[in-house]
Amino acid sequence: MKYDSSSEQWLLSFLHREVGFENYQGVLERGLQRLKGTFADFINWAREVKVITIAGTNGKGETALYCGDLLQKMRISYALWQSPHVLSITERVIINGAALSYQQWKEGIVKQKKQLDHTPLSYYEFLFYFFLSEAQKAKVDVLVLEVGLGGRLDAVNLLDADVSAITSIGRDHQEFLGQTYREILAEKIAITRTHHFLFTFWQLDYLKELTKKWQDKISFYWENLDEDAASYQQRNWLLARAIVGKLYPQVDQLEFAPRIQRGRAEQMHFAGHRWVFVGAHNLQGLQQLFCGHMINKISCDSMLISFSRRSSKDVLHMLKLIRNYLKRKKSFHCSLVGFDHWKSFPLDELKLLYSEVSDQQWSFFESYKDYLSSKRGSSSESILVCGSYYFIGQMQSYFYESVGDDFKGTV
């Protein structure tokens, strides 16, 4: 669906005004008990369809998209829930491969707000309710659910998964999920149900040992994939094929078909430069980017990055990882920038961390718009854009709004 900035702003303004921001710390109690009554009809309906739930620090969004692709190729109707979105909020609800129109969104959320006017729901929960209402209306056969945060207390865990998967484990959102792999896995593995299936792609023996202990405790069926994968993209596809194959064995006849998606090696051309968006936003994601083949494959001249709110320690670790890469590639340059969002990392703290790593291969801009101004009229470059999905979404939105209807966007 074509991006429309005015419709996008209307939807976001309505949601922020009527529902609130994507945050309920200190406002609503975290947990599922509060939601069970509101979602009761959907919980009962979901028992009549197949449910796939996917958690993980990195890779869960792409794995969920591949599950949808495979179901579509087999002509099996499905609804896909994604969070967060990158460019457009309409990315969060996909029915049989297509986003709903802006008009469907407007009518749907206004009607839903009237129905739920006195029901305390967070921004995320309100949108998940909207997703389920549209999925039920479409009479889909399968729900593919990407966990937003963790798993145990996420709204998607209201529904019992026939098949679940955990794509990866890394230290991210520790204030919610804990500091250790044991604690983080406990939050994510809670999406799995007794006598149902869990898929993982663990390479670390410690994670295999922990998962085996959980298997003994909960009594689920577990398969850890150990197939060789040429890339993380192919690994996510193999995981998706295993997930869907547990429900529909005929999927084994389908071959790997890479896709370009929002914020995942997506390319745009703007102001005479090529921009490659890779949503590596945590330490594990950046390690995969710099230590694997991806950084060479995308072939960029410089890098632009910004972060969402997280601990200063985490951000410093990521900046030091980038610094180590710069030492190996002297021709590469990294620009650290701020962006205006309530979830962005504080600018003053970002400046302090920048001072700890910066040298001649670094530059700092208070706003990505200042950075873009500095690039106008300069020689054509290929620029890697990494970090927060909120940051990536803002940049892409700025590209569209600056150029208007003539902007072609994705290559």
Share of the chain above pLDDT 70, in %: 90
Clarify whether residues 370 and 325 are in a common domain.
yes
Whole-angstrom distance, CA of residue 208 vs CA of residue 195:
19
Whole-angstrom distance, CA of residue 113 vs CA of residue 191:
28
Q: Which of 253, 283, 308 is the last residue of a domain?
A: 253
CB-neighbour burial class of residue 291 (10 A; exposed 0-12, middle 13-18, buried 19+): exposed
Clarify whether residues 245 and 296 are in a common domain.
no
Pairing of strands 273-278, 382-387: parallel
pLDDT at res. 188: 93
pLDDT at res. 261: 63
Rounded to an integer, what is the distance from CA 289 to the centroid of its chain? Answer: 16
179: domain range? Answer: 5-253
pLDDT at res. 293: 63
Would you say residue 259 has pLDDT above 80? Answer: no
pLDDT (tens digit per residue) in 278-325: 888 788 888 888 876 677 777 899 999 999 998 899 999 999 999 999
pLDDT at res. 411: 36
Clarify whether residues 106 and 233 are in a common domain.
yes
Whichever domain contains 393, its CATH number is: 3.90.190.20
**Buried b / exposed e along 133-164 (16+ C-beta atoms within 10 A):** bbbbeeebebbbbbbbbbbbbbbbbbbbbbbb
Amino acid (one-letter) located at 238? L
CB-based contact 196:163 (threshold 8 Å): yes
Q: Give DSSP secondary structure letters for 56-100.
A: -SSSHHHHHHHHHHHHHHTT--EEEE-SS-SS-GGGGEEETTEEP
Q: Phi and psi dihedrals of 155, rounded to 5? A: -60, -30
Which of 47-56, 65-74, 164-173, 253-262 is predicted least confidently? 253-262
- Residue at 349 is within a domain: yes
Clarify whether residues 185 and 129 are in a common domain.
yes
Whole-angstrom distance, CA of residue 225 vs CA of residue 40:
35
- Which residues are within 8 A (CB) of 148 and not within 5 positions of it... i.e. 6 or more apart? 83, 84, 124, 154, 155, 156
Would you say residue 237 has pLDDT above 80? Answer: yes
Q: Which among 219, 184, 180, 177 is positioned nearest to 198, based on CA atoms? A: 219
Q: CA angle, corner 124, sides to 312 and 27, nearest 5?
A: 70
Would you say residue 20 has pLDDT above 60? Answer: yes
Q: How confident is the model at residue 406 (pLDDT cuts 50, 70, 90)?
A: very low
Stronger pLDDT, 335 or 253, i.e. the higher one:
335
Whole-angstrom distance, CA of residue 55 vs CA of residue 49:
20
Clarify whether residues 115 and 190 are in a common domain.
yes
Would you say residue 408 has pLDDT above 60? Answer: no
Whole-angstrom distance, CA of residue 343 vs CA of residue 329:
32
- Residue at 258 is within a domain: no
Would you say residue 231 has pLDDT above 90? Answer: no
Would you say residue 404 has pLDDT above 70? Answer: no
pLDDT (tens digit per residue) in 173-193: 444 444 688 889 999 999 999
pLDDT (tens digit per residue) in 57-94: 888 999 999 999 999 999 999 999 998 888 999 999 99
Q: Which of 253, 276, 297 is the last residue of a domain?
A: 253
> What is the helix, strand, coil percentage profile of the chain, to 5?
45, 15, 35
Q: Which among 4, 186, 190, 179 is positioned nearest to 90, based on CA atoms? A: 4
- Which residues are within 8 A (CB) of 149 and not within 5 positions of it... i.e. 6 or more apart? 173, 176, 177
End-to-end CA distance of the chain: 15
346 DSSP assignment? P
Would you say residue 355 has pLDDT above 70? Answer: yes
User: SS3 of 160, please?
Assistant: coil
Q: Phi and psi dihedrals of 81, rounded to 5? A: -105, 125
pLDDT at res. 23: 55
CB-based contact 74:251 (threshold 8 Å): yes
Amino acid (one-letter) located at 139? K
pLDDT at res. 174: 47
- Residue at 411 is within a domain: no
pLDDT at res. 287: 83
Clarify whether residues 369 and 348 are in a common domain.
yes
pLDDT at res. 342: 86
pTM for this model (two decimals): 0.89
Give the chain's domain count. 2
CB-based contact 156:124 (threshold 8 Å): no
Stronger pLDDT, 177 or 265, i.e. the higher one:
265
Which of 37-51, 131-145, 274-288, 358-372 is predicted least confidently? 274-288
Average of pLDDT values for 27-49? 89
Clarify whether residues 224 and 305 are in a common domain.
no
Clarify whether residues 193 and 225 are in a common domain.
yes
Q: How confident is the model at residue 127 (pLDDT cuts 50, 70, 90)?
A: very high
Would you say residue 54 has pLDDT above 60? Answer: yes
CB-neighbour burial class of residue 347 (10 A; exposed 0-12, middle 13-18, buried 19+): middle
